[in-house]
Amino acid sequence: MFYEDFLPILSKAAEKFRERAQKKLKYCITCQPYDGGDYIWFHGEETTIDDILDSVGCPERYREDISGHLHCPNCGKSGFEQYETAGTEDRYIIEEEKKISRVLRRYSEKLEDFRKHLEEYPSLALNHYLGRKLLKEIENRRVDSINLNSTSWSRARIVNQSKVFNSNDMHAPELGLSEGGRFHHPGQSVLYLADSDRLAMEEAINNPNESTLVWIQKFAQINVITDILDLRYEWNNMGQKSNEIMYALLISRYIFEKVIDRNNKWRPQYFITTFIADCARKAGFNGILYSSSRSYGENLVLFNPNNSFVASHGNPKVIIYEVPKPNKYDADLTSIF
């Protein structure tokens, strides 16, 4: 016999209220951290099962029976009592989801049209309404920027020749030598950095499923890097919350489109981002901080690599990039990017 076998059978009316209450129930006491035997409420908004049932308009006569049928979607706990402490979604998350829905309703079709326009006319971004709006917003500094105080960055290059690289080889390529990237045009001299060696390697390699040898150069940040356009996309650290169109670009993922084949010269995934970089340069920004589309972490592109913000630290070293072992418990959070 199982616990569920002893639960009262719910009527059709009661079942409807159970479904509504179950959607609101997100956490329970078991989900919370404990300190000396007492729980510390950390996840979600603290409430009770009875308050949840009250919020969905459940009649009093159904509440006791429905409580036993509810379960915590976070930890799996079941068998709640009517007045037991439980948790709903955090108010911040609820408000953020509402904001995301509102912004996407307003901009999703316009962004898609802008994306198609640039794919057909890559150099005519200002012929489109959103192109003109983006330039105006960035030029007038109605976008979020930050100053960086990090002390260490990394840069990687694939070992594809017998030459032993020195620190100069690991700096920004000279004008005219670089291929196009997410935030620069072919031939522009910019410096891309990552916040860890691992991320630097994952950004540099063409195929993350093949082991390879990689040069790694450490860079020490010697001055505060000012005026950096913030294009991070992290749930707890989202950039551009004060600007709707920039926020729409982040949540719609157009800034983080993956280039599947990096050997392909046609890269429409970069058309919006290179335009944003052009606008940022014109507005006087020193660079862009953005979330990786390949892994976890943050990347930095500096528009003027000759500025005295960072300096190479020591000589580059060769490291073996090893393919991460698959873990069935780890979801690939970048698979939808």
Q: Report percent pLDDT > 90 for the chain.
A: 72
State which of 34, 66, 89 marks the end of a domain.
89
Spatial contact of 291 and 231, defined as CB atoms under 8 Å apart = yes
Q: Give yes or no: residues 275 and 243 share one domain.
A: yes
pLDDT 10s digits, 123-142: 999 999 999 999 999 999 99
Assigned domain for 332 exists = no
Mean per-residue pLDDT of the chain: 90
Which of 42, 72, 89 is the last residue in one of the domains?
89
Which of 5-14, 53-62, 88-97, 279-288 is predicted least confidently? Answer: 88-97
Say whether both 78 and 121 belong to one domain.
Answer: no
Query: Does residue 132 sit within a domain?
Result: yes
- In this structure, is residue 253 part of a structural domain? yes
pLDDT in tens, 300-325: 999 998 888 999 999 999 999 998 87
> Residue 261: which residues within 8 A CB-CB, separation 6 or more?
none
Identity of the amino acid at 247: Y
Which range marks the domain in which residue 63 is found? 9-89
145 and 273 inside one domain: yes
Per-residue DSSP letter, 326: P
157 inside domain: yes
d(CA 335, CA 263): 20
- Block residue for tokens 């594809």: 160
Q: How many domains does the chain have?
A: 2
DSSP character string of 228-240: EEEE---TTS-S-
Q: What b-and-e string marks burial along 146-161, b requiring 16 or more CB atoms within 10 Å of the CB? A: eebebeebbbbbebee
pTM: 0.77
DSSP of 59-110, one letter per residue?
-HHHHHHHHHH-B-TTT--B---TT-EEEE--HHHHHHHHHHHHHHHHHHHH
* Dihedral class, residue 297 (left if φ above 0, else alpha if ψ from -120 to 50, else beta): left
**Would you say residue 334 lies in a domain?**
no
- Are 334 and 295 spatial neighbours (Cβ–Cβ below 8 Å)? yes
Q: Which amino acid is it at 336? A: I
Task: In whole angstroms, give the CA distance from residue 201 to residue 155.
Answer: 8
Domain end among 33, 64, 89: 89
